[in-house]
Structure 1
Amino acid sequence: MFATQALRGYLISLALATTGSKLGNTTLIGRDVTLLNQDFFGGIPYVEPPCGALRLQRPVLKTSLDTTEFNASNFGLSCLQNVLPLSETSEDCLTINVFRPSGITSNASLPVMFWTFGGGFFEGSSSSSQFNASAIVAQSVARGTPIIYVNFNYRLGPLGFPQGQEAADRKVLNLGLSDQIAALTWVQENIGAFGGDKDKVTIFGESAGAIMTAIQLLNPEISKFARAAIFESGSAASALTYGPLHRQVDWDNFVSGVPGCQNLSSTNNTFECLKSVNTTAIFNGVVTAQNDLTEQFPWSPAIDGIGGFMPELPSLLFSKGIFAKIPFIAGTNLDEGTVFTQPSYNYTTELIESIIIANYSPPAVESVSESQLENATKEILELYPAIPALGSPFNTGNDTFGLSPGFKRYQIGDLLWHSQRRFWIQTASNAGVKTFGYLFTQPQPEDPPFLGVPHISEVDYVYGNVANATESDTVLSTAMIDYWVSFATSLDPNDGKGAARPTWEQYTPQNQVLIQLNGDNTTLIPDDYRKEQIGFINSMPLTFHH
């Protein structure tokens, strides 16, 4: 997933010449990807380096460069994360990248697709080969609706999503979300120099990237930065939403691993020390924190109060009509939960019950009691009985793949992904927002069969880089790129251009339909799968922190 060097090599091997673009008084020297008729500009800083005194602070925007010439021919380094060697990362990682068709002028005013990658808020990079946008840009040109593609790095782990009392007191929760806004601000200031139209930006992302983008839509002001959005497997509360104190222990574990600051762990007086140490010390803390996790994804966006990105649970904001009313596509994959379900566990009724209660305890609001959560959990277990044929991966009968039969019963996919997608799209469409929904069901024979059609599997189709693609895969990938580009350029996935494909009907209160994305059967389906089960979850959003 993080094959940074692979994409660098790909671009360099095709680059037969350099290309330039002016950013203020600076000439950017990018890559002319001649065989694809595209230009690439990468590694452009969009904020001041978040190091030293600026570590654990809101980003300081940098819309111009203090040099006459800047080498933008490759990606910048990835942000600090425990899954990459320190030598392949940097704290000075907040850079932005632009893919565009060759030969366009600065007044071309092309629509912009702005991507936020996923990775559980602790890993990932804009330079991953998975996010090589060359196929998207090429197909946009071929279909007569050229676009410019932008992606960026944001801070990860404790540097991007600090937790605990001190971060809350200093008002520096959710720094990764601040980075996302800074990158969008850079686009507003500079995309015109590349031939883009700042008023035609579609923000899209997957998993953590979709969650971040969905949180941004909790603030109506996001419409100043984007006119549309696409959410692939992620809604605003998909990451087990809590206030900042819930994950205090993870912050303390991080500090305890930073040489020179260990003794300050648990003191709520750590920031000044953390700003004084070097990157190697910070990296040691990141590794320590990941080795001592108290949950799977502790570095998640936190409820940050009045004036914050997520002042309260999203469902409370929805009930007040507080969200951006911009058009969007939202969808999920058939078996969202399988990659988050540990295959080695023996999923008894008691274990599943204990996991659900642990995930949503303590309650997020005072109006919900522990007993209400316990009763709701028991109801969940009745609605999802121990019958393998009803479980996920779906449509696999009684096959349990040599795992505990309860593996298929534990429906974290519905709790975190499917229910929230449905809640979000119904809320928005009821408010008159133009929305479109999908369910991705394309078989994934390259994956272990117990995963089914898992989380993240649609990304390669959106980027046109499916490994060992069958004819069915190719047909679907072409259609998905057409749908996505059509929506980004016309605010409708059905512009009649590109490959022939089924009409994707708008999701409305009177027409609650999804398009099933499947290379052998792309068709409209009613949004009523597991109606009773998901309906129950959505009837008590506060209990499930939605």
Structure 2
Amino acid sequence: MNRSFEFLYKPPYLMKKIILLLLAIISGIAFSFAQTGSNVQVKITNGLLQGVVETSGIHSFKGIPYAQPPLADLRWKEPRPPKNWAGVHVADHFGPQAMQPPVFSDMMFRSNGKSEDCLYLNVWTPAKSAKEKLPVLVYFYGGGFIAGDGSEYRYDGEALAKKGIVTVTINYRLGIFGFFAHPELTKESPHHSSGNYGLMDQHAALLWVQKNIAAFGGDPDKVTIGGESAGSMSVSAQVASPLSKGLFRGAIGESGAVLGNLSPVPLTDIEQTGVKFAQKAGATTLDDLRKIPADKLMQLAMGIKFSTAVDGYFLPKMPQAIFDAGKQMHVPLLAGWNSAEVEYHSVLGNDSLTVTNYKKALQKLYNDKADDVFNAYPAATDADVAQAATDLASDRFIVFATWKFTDIQSKIGDKPVYRYLFSKKRPPMVNGQGNGNSLGASHASEIEYALGNLSTNKVYAWTPDDYKVSETMQTYFANFIKTGNPNGNGLPQWDKLDSANPKTMVIDVNSQLTPVTNTARYILLESFYNK
């Protein structure tokens, strides 16, 4: 190849942006909204969209296809760009949720059922014209990569849109549909990889945003990605992936990262999981596997874990190695976790809360390192055991990986990192029952606070204090999305993370920046997970 033309084949970030801009112009993106009564229309690259003018004045567009349906031969393939349509695509209802079992009782969907045809996204915008160039948030849902949906009430984008942000939620493939790998899939792939289809769906949605978000008044150069749990793991994976470079300028991670104990597995390992599954399903070829109806496929896969993988393409190496080499995206990061992600039962089981039982549990978990762990998570009396075991359980579950994300990005990256600890416990339920975790803020409980959606959750008896915390957290998030810095008028000062003097913003009724005193326990866990 003539090297003078090599840039045409391997476009750097600037060329990628130019190509996306040209595609948008050629496709005739509209430069203003056409509003008629309660309906509003915009022109995007694939055709004309009709959305809804909400009573608040926010324009919403739901169920927009961002990729072709991953059906038949497209099952277990990279998402393909959506096809153009004639006429008007009515975007007034959510697309189907991804195929998933009913595993989490707190998920309240507004989508019309589930389907393998699930690659749709939703946009809420306060803009009245495409000339406004507003900041953009693209949010990935949680659910352990086996459940979740962009239609959930807690992810609704209207509240953040009211703060001047174009908000996008997306659906991505889950479970066996999103993370199945097999040697034959690797062989047929032009990239010699398989698995991570759900992560590539997210990447495809980010490409769609680059091409189309200007039509909604958003600025493609001001995109922040965010997510919780598996969504936060997804954020860290996108930060690590070379494919996503240049597609966003900031990242928000709520409880999760693909580092430490949550690191992806080698491709060969997940391929063997796929081989065993194919044998269980009685399928001898990919064609056989692709002919299995979606419902049956999901049933056959129950109980089998399909993990994220170092596939050699989306993730060419372990994320830890990518970060260590400074090859991740260098973007501002706002990330943290909750004060009691899970309770002590995952450490103690149903044993009573005594120091003796706690030490026995640590011995089973850590053998000759049990004393080191006890010293890092001490319990002087039986009354201390619940808190110590909850801290350990939470760190083992998801906190350590999130800590690692903030720690390594602050040391290796060249952009600021802002770390938080969300500690506001939910109030009692409306029916008078408890809030689920008496020791602190449980896993996923911060979502409605951060996104301004307390009122959409009718389970809890929210108080003025809850709305105060929500306004604080939502404003921090909004400021960060707009500027890369969470600070603003009327908010406690939030300093960036400094490894020499680490401080964390504790978000509660009275939020405050607090010195970190427990780093030693994460250093200890790191010795177990990153050898």
1:505-524 equivalent positions in 2, closer than 5 A:
505-519=495-509, 521-524=510-513
- Alignment partner for residue 343 of structure 2, among 329, 338, 341? 338
- Alignment partner for residue 320 of structure 1, among 325, 348, 352? 325
Tell me, yes or no, if structure 1 residue 476 matches structure 2 residue 458. Answer: no
DSSP-derived class of the 1:199 partner: strand
- Between the aligned partners of 2:177 and 2:264, the Cα distance in structure 1 is 19
Kindly indicate whether the alpha-carbon contact (under 8 Å) linking 1:339 and 1:454 is maintained by their aligned counterparts in 2.
no
DSSP-derived class of the 2:514 partner: strand
Kindly indicate whether the alpha-carbon contact (under 8 Å) linking 2:97 and 2:112 is maintained by their aligned counterparts in 1.
no
> What are structure 1's unaligned runs of at least 5 residues?
1-14, 141-145, 358-373, 395-407
- Between the aligned partners of 1:342 and 1:51, the Cα distance in structure 2 is 42
1:240–1:410: structure 2 CA closer, same or farther, 3 Å change rule?
farther
Alignment-mate amino acid for residue 50 of structure 2: I
1:29-428 equivalent positions in 2, closer than 5 A:
29-33=50-54, 35-62=55-82, 65-83=84-102, 88-101=113-126, 104-138=128-162, 140=163, 146-163=164-181, 165-169=183-187, 170=189, 171-219=193-241, 222-237=244-259, 239=262, 241-246=264-269, 251=274, 254-255=277-278, 262-264=281-283, 269-277=284-292, 281-290=293-302, 292-293=303-304, 298-305=305-312, 307-309=313-315, 311-312=317-318, 314-338=319-343, 341=346, 345-346=350-351, 356=365, 375-376=368-369, 379-381=372-374, 383-385=376-378, 389-391=383-385, 393=387, 408=389, 411-428=392-409
- Between the aligned partners of 1:96 and 1:503, the Cα distance in structure 2 is 35
- Between the aligned partners of 1:344 and 1:253, the Cα distance in structure 2 is 31
TM-score (norm 2): 0.80
Kindly indicate whether the alpha-carbon contact (under 8 Å) linking 2:419 and 2:497 is maintained by their aligned counterparts in 1.
yes
- Between the aligned partners of 1:74 and 1:450, the Cα distance in structure 2 is 38
Tell me, yes or no, if structure 1 residue 457 matches structure 2 residue 445. Answer: yes
- Between the aligned partners of 2:138 and 2:178, the Cα distance in structure 1 is 19
Tell me, yes or no, if structure 1 residue 26 matches structure 2 residue 47. Answer: yes
Alignment-mate amino acid for residue 49 of structure 2: L
- Alignment partner for residue 479 of structure 2, among 486, 501, 514? 486
Deviation at 1:538, TM superposition (A): 2.4
Deviation at 1:177, TM superposition (A): 0.7
- Alignment partner for residue 17 of structure 1, among 23, 26, 38? 38
1:207–1:28: structure 2 CA closer, same or farther, 3 Å change rule?
same
1:502–1:180: structure 2 CA closer, same or farther, 3 Å change rule?
same
Residues 491-522 of structure 1: per-residue CA shift (max 9 Å, x gap): 111133xxx22111111234411110001x20
- Between the aligned partners of 1:113 and 1:245, the Cα distance in structure 2 is 35
- Between the aligned partners of 1:36 and 1:215, the Cα distance in structure 2 is 35
Greater mean alpha carbon deviation, residues 409-418 or residues 184-193: 409-418
Kindly indicate whether the alpha-carbon contact (under 8 Å) linking 2:142 and 2:232 is maintained by their aligned counterparts in 1.
yes
Alignment-mate amino acid for residue 116 of structure 2: E
Deviation at 1:39, TM superposition (A): 0.8
Kindly indicate whether the alpha-carbon contact (under 8 Å) linking 2:181 and 2:194 is maintained by their aligned counterparts in 1.
no
- Between the aligned partners of 2:462 and 2:507, the Cα distance in structure 1 is 16
Kindly indicate whether the alpha-carbon contact (under 8 Å) linking 1:392 and 1:452 is maintained by their aligned counterparts in 2.
no
Residues 382-428 of structure 1: per-residue CA shift (max 9 Å, x gap): 5435655445556xxxxxxxxxxxxx368232134333333332322
Which residue of 2 is the match for residue 363 of structure 1? none
- Between the aligned partners of 1:345 and 1:251, the Cα distance in structure 2 is 35
> What are structure 2's unaligned runs of at least 5 residues?
1-35, 104-108, 352-356, 429-434, 455-459
Kindly indicate whether the alpha-carbon contact (under 8 Å) linking 1:339 and 1:455 is maintained by their aligned counterparts in 2.
no
Deviation at 1:539, TM superposition (A): 3.9
Deviation at 1:455, TM superposition (A): 1.0
- Between the aligned partners of 1:342 and 1:426, the Cα distance in structure 2 is 25
- Between the aligned partners of 2:500 and 2:376, the Cα distance in structure 1 is 27
Tell me, yes or no, if structure 1 residue 526 matches structure 2 residue 515. Answer: yes
- Between the aligned partners of 1:320 and 1:444, the Cα distance in structure 2 is 40
TM-score (norm 1): 0.78
Identity %: 28
Count of aligned residue pairs for this structure pair: 467
Deviation at 1:96, TM superposition (A): 1.0
Which residue of 2 is the match for residue 402 of structure 1? none
Kindly indicate whether the alpha-carbon contact (under 8 Å) linking 2:66 and 2:81 is maintained by their aligned counterparts in 1.
yes
- Between the aligned partners of 1:189 and 1:436, the Cα distance in structure 2 is 30
Deviation at 1:464, TM superposition (A): 1.8
Residues 325-354 of structure 1: per-residue CA shift (max 9 Å, x gap): 111101010112339838864476565555
**RCO comparison, higher one (Cα < 8 Å, 6+):** 1
Residues 54-88 of structure 1: per-residue CA shift (max 9 Å, x gap): 001111122x6322210101110101111189981
